[in-house]
């Protein structure tokens, strides 16, 4: 992975117990400060600073992040997806993020942190909106 100063680039060395899935392109792991009982992060192994640095060339990677995370959640948390609860997939809007490495939040409501639920609507952009934003670039 890319940046030796980035906590996500070195997560395999520093916090491997939180990792729940890994392939050639991505890592999925448990958030260290979850806002719901199920709160995972999906990161690309390639260091990308944030969603503003994504281009159309990254759409395949983004789709892989989404599809793989969704499949992981369906396989491992199907009991929590009852009653039409849909997982939330999205990214914080810069500058509202703590780690400067692209990371997609994968959350199954309900939220355990009511303040973050309210804040997320202001500082969070869902997956579909990020893809739409990238397609409108250039």
Within the chain, strands assigned E span 19-22, 26-30, 36-44, 88-92, 104-111, 124-126
- Would residue 103 show up in a list of annotated catalytic residues for this protein? no
Rounded to an integer, what is the distance from CA 21 to the centroid of its chain? Answer: 13
Write down the catalytic residue from 39, 47, 101, 105: 105
* Beta-sheet strands, E only, within 17-121: 19-22, 26-30, 36-44, 88-92, 104-111
Phi, psi of 130 (to 5 degrees): -65, -45
Q: Residue 68: CA atoms inside 13 Å, Cβ hemisphere, count?
A: 22
Enzyme catalytic residues: 105
């Amino acid at each position: 992975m890319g940046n030796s100063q980035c906590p996500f680039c070195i997560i395999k060395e520093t916090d491997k117990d939180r990792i729940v899935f890994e392939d050639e392109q991505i890592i999925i792991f448990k958030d260290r400060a979850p806002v719901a009982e199920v709160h995972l992060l999906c990161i690309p192994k390639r260091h990308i600073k944030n969603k503003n640095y994504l281009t159309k060339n990254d759409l395949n990677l983004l789709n892989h992040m989404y599809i793989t995370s969704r499949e992981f959640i369906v396989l491992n948390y199907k009991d929590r997806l009852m009653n039409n609860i849909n997982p939330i997939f999205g990214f914080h809007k810069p500058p509202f993020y703590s780690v400067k490495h692209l990371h997609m939040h994968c959350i199954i409501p309900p939220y355990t942190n009511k303040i973050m639920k309210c804040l997320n609507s202001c500082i969070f952009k869902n997956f579909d909106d990020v893809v739409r934003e990238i397609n409108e670039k250039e």
